Amino acid sequence: MSNNHQVLLDVKNLRKFFPIRRGVLQKVVGHVRAVDDVTFYINQGETLSLVGESGCGKTTTARCILRAYDPSAGQVFFRAEDGQVMDVAALPANQLQPLRRQMQMIFQDPFSSLNPRMTLLDIVGEPLLVHGEKAAHKRTERVAELLRLVGLRPEYMRRYPHAFSGGQRQRIGIARALALNPRLVVADEPVSALDVSVQAQILNLMLELQEKLGLTYLFVAHDLSVVKHISERVAVMYVGRIVEMAPTKELFYAPRHPYTEALMSAVPKPDPRLRSERIVLQGEVADPANPPPGCYFHPRCRYATDVCHEKTPVQEEITPRHFVSCHRAKEISLRGVVKK
């Protein structure tokens, strides 16, 4: 990708704790540490994926960046169109609207994310209306352009979502996200509700649009195959923390964190000749309300030593652009995906 490596989004020590309330007085008895000290950046025009299992905090992280949730702590620096860098996490709610033009979201479920009583014109045109485009004919024009862009016929704009298949609906969702020419698009599991034969179409469309419009993607997903396909860099999350972050190929072929290794080995490979020795993690994902001491992964880690029980590992850049939080990252050699 040709870009000048200008950082578009810079997230520093982001935290989001949800209070657990109990009893008649709704006293706070604890916190779910959904996002716990997450730091990463995304360059202009790049795709970074957040990947992890359910409950690891990937969606919460994405929502904090868009200020759908108010972060508990940390900074989210965003470089606006005019080059000015602002801390999204610290902005008062009434100053968020101009920023929201520049950050948009694609949702997971194309069935519940589109209002069944609105036509495509209303759905895709609504962000335009909200952000001040009052002239109806201009909105219609723009909607037609957007529908063409995502591979739908503009004649369809007076129809309702029920007339479209899952893949087409996801295209509508993408058109709506692109209506305001955003610079950052947060895609939360955009293909996981689709049939396998349709997933490829949507992934291709997203790659194409990125090239055409110079978009920056924050891609949230649990499916490693999809993540590998779309991203330039990948951050692996476990119980609210990023355990490893690296350029895609490096992460898949030479992982440095035991959790990344286990996660990749658990993915069933679509080739019966590769029925290999899988690493099956024992036990369950730690409870984010009551995480174990030290490294959160140590109870399931086959490389854990005493230090892992006691000290929380810090994120370290072991080779350029490859970050790992593991005490033993430099001593152990791990198995990645076999190169074909």
Q: In terms of Cα–Cα distance, which of 256, 194, 251 is closest to 224?
A: 251
Identified binder of another protein from the candidate list 31, 91, 119, 166, rule CB under 8 A? 166
32 touching another protein, by CB under 8 A:
no
Neighbours of 131 (CB within 10 A): 13
Radius of gyration of the chain (CA): 21
Identified binder of another protein from the candidate list 81, 145, 195, 306, rule CB under 8 A? 195
Q: To 5 degrees, how large is the angle CA 316–CA 321–CA 325?
A: 25
User: Binding marks (x or -) toward another protein, 222..241, rule CB under 8 A?
Assistant: x-xxx-xxxxx---------
User: Binding marks (x or -) toward another protein, 247..286, rule CB under 8 A?
Assistant: -xx--x---------xxxxxxxxxxxxxx--x-xxx-xx-
Total binding residues for another protein by CB under 8 A? 52
DSSP state of 109: -
198 touching another protein, by CB under 8 A:
yes
175 touching another protein, by CB under 8 A:
no
Instruction: Tell me how far, at minimum, the Cβ of 142 lies from another protein, in Å.
Output: 26
Region from 11-19, 29-37, 81-89, 198-206 binding another protein, contact rule CB under 8 A:
198-206
Q: In terms of Cα–Cα distance, which of 98, 106, 50, 99 is closest to 78?
A: 99
* DSSP notation for 179-246: TT--SEEEEESTTTTS-HHHHHHHHHHHHHHHHHHT-EEEEEES-HHHHHHH-SEEEEEETTEEEEEE
Q: In terms of Cα–Cα distance, which of 148, 77, 164, 79 is closest to 113?
A: 164
Residues 64-103 interacting with another protein (rule: CB under 8 A): none
Region from 3-11, 17-25, 64-72, 200-208 binding another protein, contact rule CB under 8 A:
200-208
Q: Sort 211 into a burial class: Cβ within 10 Å, 0-12 / 13-18 / 19+.
A: exposed
112 touching another protein, by CB under 8 A:
no
340 touching another protein, by CB under 8 A:
yes
Backbone angles phi, psi at 172, to 5 degrees: -60, -45
Neighbours of 260 (CB within 10 A): 26
Identified binder of another protein from the candidate list 204, 290, 305, 319, rule CB under 8 A? 204
Identified binder of another protein from the candidate list 7, 200, 213, 289, rule CB under 8 A? 200
Q: Sort 6 into a burial class: Cβ within 10 Å, 0-12 / 13-18 / 19+.
A: exposed
Region from 8-16, 97-105, 142-150, 203-211 binding another protein, contact rule CB under 8 A:
203-211
Instruction: Tell me how far, at minimum, the Cβ of 264 lies from another protein, in Å.
Output: 7
Region from 73-81, 182-190, 244-252, 311-319 binding another protein, contact rule CB under 8 A:
244-252
Residue 70, amino acid:
D
C-beta closer to another protein: residue 78 or 252: 252
Instruction: Tell me how far, at minimum, the Cβ of 54 lies from another protein, in Å.
Output: 6
* Residues in touch with another protein (CB under 8 A): 53-54, 165-168, 195-201, 203-204, 207, 222, 224-226, 228-232, 248-249, 252, 262-275, 278, 280-282, 284-285, 337-340
